[in-house]
Structure 1
C-alpha cells in the first residue's frame, strides 16, 4: 500500500492599512495588552517567542494564542485559535503601512469557510480602521 501525503490547501486574508503614526507606536498597539484591548480584544499578550496567551473574543470567549516570531518593530507572528496572524509594519513617510495576513483557513471546513467570509471584511472595514482611529486620535 502506498501512503499519500496530501497537504490541505488553505487560504489567507490579507489586509493593508495605512496608519499615520510611526511603527513604534503601531507596535505598541499590537503588543501592549491595554492598547490591544482598546481596539480589538483584551489579552495577556507579550512579544516574546513562545509566550502563550489568550485573546478574549466577545462572541467566542477566550481563544488560545502563541507567539511564533518577533522582530520589533516590524514583524509579529502568532497563532490565534486555528489560524496564524502575521503583522508586518513598514515605515512609510511619517506613518506606517500595516499588513495583516490571517492565514490557515481550510475552506472545506464549514466553520473556517464562515470565518474566512466574515473576517476579511471585518478586519478591513472595522477592526484595522478602529486601530488607525485610536492611534491617530492621540
Structure 2
C-alpha cells in the first residue's frame, strides 16, 4: 500500500514524553488515569477484556458517545493494542508502543482501519487525528508527571 492510501486508513503519530516508560504505561493502563486524559472507562489490562469508553455524542459523525473496545494485545510496559468500535460503522484498532528514550519515553500511536471511501470515517479520522496530536499526548504527559 502506498503512503497516500495508508494516510487515509490510519493515524500514525509519535511523541517524546519526558517521563520513564513505567509512568507512561500507568497513564495508559490504569482506568482512573485513562479517564483523566481520554474518557471514563471500565478498562482492565487483560487480553480479551471487553470495555467501553463514554463521552459526549458527536452527531456530525453519527457517534452516540460510546466506544466499544477489547484488549487484543498486551506486553506490560511496551505495547497495548485494543479494538475500537462505535458499534455501527467503525471497526478500528488503536496501538500504543512505548520505547525508552534517554530519561523519557518515545510513545507511538497507530489508530488503524479507517475506510478511505467512507466520508464519515474520513471526517472522524481528521477529527481524531487532531485530538490525538493536539491534546491527548500532552495530557498523557501531564498525568505521567503527577505519578
In 1, Cα distance between equivalents of 2:35 and 2:130: 20
Q: Deviations over 1:70-129 (max 9, x none)?
A: 001100000011210000000111111100000000021121111111111110111111
Partner of 1:17: 15
Give unmatched runs, 5+ long, in structure 1. 1-8
In 2, Cα distance between equivalents of 1:15 and 1:87: 10
The structure with more radius of gyration:
1
1:30 pairs with one of 28, 31, 41: 28
Partner of 1:68: 72
Partner of 1:46: 44
Give unmatched runs, 5+ long, in structure 2. 1-5, 58-63, 86-90
Across the aligned residues of Structure 1 and Structure 2, the Cα RMSD in angstroms comes to: 1.7
Question: What SS is found at the alignment partner of 1:30?
Answer: helix
Partner of 1:4: none
In 2, Cα distance between equivalents of 1:30 and 1:89: 10
In 1, Cα distance between equivalents of 2:146 and 2:41: 22
Partner of 1:122: 131
In 2, Cα distance between equivalents of 1:56 and 1:22: 29
Whether the 8 Å contact between 2:98 and 2:108 is mirrored in structure 1 is yes
Q: How many residues align?
A: 131
In 2, Cα distance between equivalents of 1:66 and 1:100: 17
